[in-house]
Amino acid sequence: MSEPIRVLVTGAAGQIAYSLLYSIGNGSVFGKDQPIILVLLDITPMMSVLNGVLMELQDCALPLLKDVIATDEEEVAFKDLDVAVLVGSMPRREGMERKDLLRANVKIFKSQGAALEKYAKKSVKVIVVGNPANTNCLTAAKSAPSIPKENFSCLTRLDHNRAKSQIALKLGVTADDVKNVIIWGNHSSTQYPDVNHAKVKLQGKEVGVYEALKNDSWLKGEFITTVQQRGAAVIKARKLSSAMSAAKAISDHIRDIWFGTPEGEFVSMGVISDGNSYGIPDDLLYSFPVVIKNKTWKFVEGLPINDFSREKMDLTAKELTEEKEAAFEFLSSA
């Protein structure tokens, strides 16, 4: 058995964490021979709920869980971390302006970034889930200057999985038969699900999705809006946000960071732009196609971008630039 790794989940009394924690504890994220010290953080009013979650994890009798710590204190939660999964954020309430949401979340992620800086290992991998995820991730990264900015990523894997599954449903195949879809940009309704480079396995051979579907109007219309608005559709139907699918996407995202992406496949992940890839401005936390090896991601370079895609990619970059500017204003005054 290897040494235990220390994994933090914030917002740990919430419903996404409730769907996620068992997967982390049973070895399906970090591997079946990786012991874990699981740290659960939530706000003080949620401590009694969190203690219930703690009891359930104990009652699962998971052999890989060496310890489970429930806390409302950042100095306890962020100490010596190997992985931080930042799920907790201020949710948007009815009638709340986006800027109010940004202001509230800047405060949270500035504080958590500072705690990462002060207490966590410099090698910590930070995955931001709480919305607005891209800008929250950028805020945390800016607040932890001595941790490499490449160690920060935000979740667009749920959108990636949604795109794969829509294609699979349309073609009557499984989601596993679809690969190399891309989510560009913001985890918001401006994101651009792109299947120009995606492949699908049909009758044992790989073909391009456009070629397989022969339905350009659907791919450029309803497919895109379905993926963009899927989260809202789930809330409307379930009266709660997508927790099971979000937890599955977080597990996929972390597992790929830990073990790498399969040969010939790329995944979508919100990472820091360098100003040199696909014409996206420098220093935006933007979802790109990446490949991962040795716990390090790299941009998938050189994919041809048509005019339709360019317009969509620029639109979501513009939204992210505006969010970043608003967040940084709050960051400097916070």
> 95-132: per-residue pLDDT in tens?
777 778 888 999 999 999 999 999 999 999 999 999 99
Is residue 160 among the annotated active site residues? no
Is-contact 7 24, C-beta < 8 A? Answer: yes
- pLDDT beyond 70 at 334: no
Q: What is the pLDDT of residue 159?
A: 98
Domain extents for the chain?
5-154, 156-321
Structure tokens at 53: 């979650």
- pLDDT beyond 90 at 331: no
- Is residue 157 part of an annotated ligand binding site? no
**Fold (CATH) for 156-321:** L-2-Hydroxyisocaproate Dehydrogenase; Chain A, domain 2 (3.90.110)
Q: Which residues pair with 271 in a beta bridge?
A: 286
- Is residue 161 part of an annotated ligand binding site? no
- Is residue 129 part of an annotated ligand binding site? yes
Q: What is the pLDDT of residue 91?
A: 82
Calpha distance 295→291 (Å, rounded): 10
Please report how many Cα atoms fall inside a 13 Å half-sphere around the Cα of residue 303, on the Cβ side: 23
Tokens 């939530």 map to which residue?
42
Q: Give Cβ neighbours of residue 63 (< 8 Å, ≥ 6 apart).
A: none
Is-contact 98 230, C-beta < 8 A? Answer: no
- pLDDT beyond 80 at 156: yes
Calpha distance 119→115 (Å, rounded): 6
> Which is the catalytic residue, given 160, 187, 197, 253?
187
Q: Which residues pair with 59 in a beta bridge?
A: none
How confident is residue 14, by pLDDT bands cut at 50, 70 and 90? very high
Single pTM value for the model: 0.96
What is the pairing mode between strands 5-10 and 182-184? unpaired
Please report how many Cα atoms fall inside a 13 Å half-sphere around the Cα of residue 87, on the Cβ side: 29
- Is residue 131 part of an annotated ligand binding site? yes
Taking the alpha carbons at both ends of the chain, their separation in whole angstroms is: 44
- My answer on whether omega of the bond before 91 falls inside 30° of 0, hence cis, is no
The mean of the pLDDT values for the chain is: 96
Calpha distance 251→333 (Å, rounded): 35
- Is residue 83 part of an annotated ligand binding site? no
- Is residue 215 part of an annotated ligand binding site? no
The strand ranges marked E within 170-325 are 178-179, 182-184, 192-194, 199-202, 205-208, 267-272, 285-293, 296-299
> 5-154 sits in which CATH class?
alpha beta
Listed as own residue / partner, the contacts of 194-201 with beta carbons closer than 8 Å and 24 or more positions apart are 194/309, 194/312, 195/163, 195/167, 195/219, 195/223, 196/303, 196/304, 196/306, 196/309, 197/289, 197/303, 198/167, 200/167, 200/168, 200/171, 200/173, 201/173, 201/177
